[in-house]
Copies of this chain bind each other. A is one copy, B any other.
Amino acid sequence: MRLPHATDLTGVDVALVGVPFDSGTSYRSGARLAPREIRAQSSLIRPYSYFLKVAPFDDRLVVDAGDLDVPPAGSIDHAYGVIEAGLRRIVQAGAVPIVAGGDHSISLPILRAIAEKHGPVSLVQFDSHIDTWGDYFGGRHFHGSPFRRAIEEGLIRSPQYVQVGIRGPMYGEAEDFAFQNAHGVVMIDIGAVKTDGIARTVERIRSIVRGPVYVTFDIDSVDPAFAPGTGTPEVGGLTSYEAQTLVRGLAGLDLVGCDVVEVAPQFDGPGQITSLLAANLMFELLCVIALKGRSSRG
């Protein structure tokens, strides 16, 4: 978005930051290259949101905080430490982070930094997968488990946690849903979204969350036609227009942080439409943050 690059975070309202890490991926890796490509595609974005009637750069000091220097190889715990430290710095400076992933495993250390400042938060998760699975190959951390860990660590208030766009693949009712049912997590599957429509879905989301809210947008919630550049694509998803409208529907909520994850540029075509969509969703999230305090989408 042609933003000033900043290392000094004093007075910054919103900080965009890249987390080029994909060693939490279970299938096709590649999300580590997303921050670079999302930046490239963001050069088409202009400063005004016609649909939300807001010019976020006019009212807020927004900076590009660059990419965190995450070790790409080695131990995921080590990487988690670097990510948490990087986000802590942003959050403690009073800025709201908008993170470009990386795979979905990065949401856990981000939430650790967020909760340290704000206490347990509401969570809105746009995703095709529940990502509340348990261990994987004997390890506790991968891109399918961050929100189970976040609940276990008390980082999110689970009855104010809503998953939107879920569709699969799955192992069975018991295997997949026992944990989140036990914690009161609300799931709005893709069938519900398509049948009820976006406006009613927005209402449902807004009725569930309260207080400080974290939004995590897994690009694979969107259909592979609109977002082919991702590691674990799931057919039958959101359109890009639905995705934009859902995010715009969050205007007025108290967003304290957000991420857009699982973009994998090498599976995109030459038009790089997935990175372009991610850049646009980051802009929509920025507008939502700039509109904080407004009671509903205008």
Q: Which residues does A use to contact B, with CB under 8 Å?
A: 22-30, 32-33, 36, 40, 43-51, 53, 55, 69, 71-78, 105, 136-139, 141-143, 167-173, 175-176, 189-191, 194, 223-226, 228-230, 232-237, 239-241, 244, 266-271, 273, 276-277, 280
A214 CB, min distance to chain B CBs, angstroms: 22
> Would you call A224 and B271 a contact (CB within 8 A)?
yes
Would A48 and B237 be within 8 Å (CB), given that A71-B136, A72-B25, A269-B270 are in contact?
no
> Complex formed: what's the CA distance from A281 to B27 in Å?
21
Task: State whether B46 touches A169 (Cβ < 8 A).
Answer: yes
**Stoichiometry (number of copies):** 6
**In the complex, chain B residues whose CB is within 8 Å of the CB of A233:** 44, 271, 273, 276
- From the candidates B40, B46, B229, B241, name the one contacting A170 in the complex (CB within 8 A): B46
Cα separation A213 to B50 with both chains bound (whole Å) = 28
Contact: B280 with A235, CB < 8 Å? yes
Contact B171 A73 (CB under 8 A): no
On chain B, the residues within 8 Å of A74 by CB distance are 23-24, 75-76, 136-139, 141-142
Q: How far is the CB of A133 from chain B (nearest CB, A)?
A: 11
Contact check, B29 vs A273: say whether CB atoms are below 8 A apart: no
| A273-B44 CB under 8 A given contacts A55-B172, A137-B74, A142-B74 | no
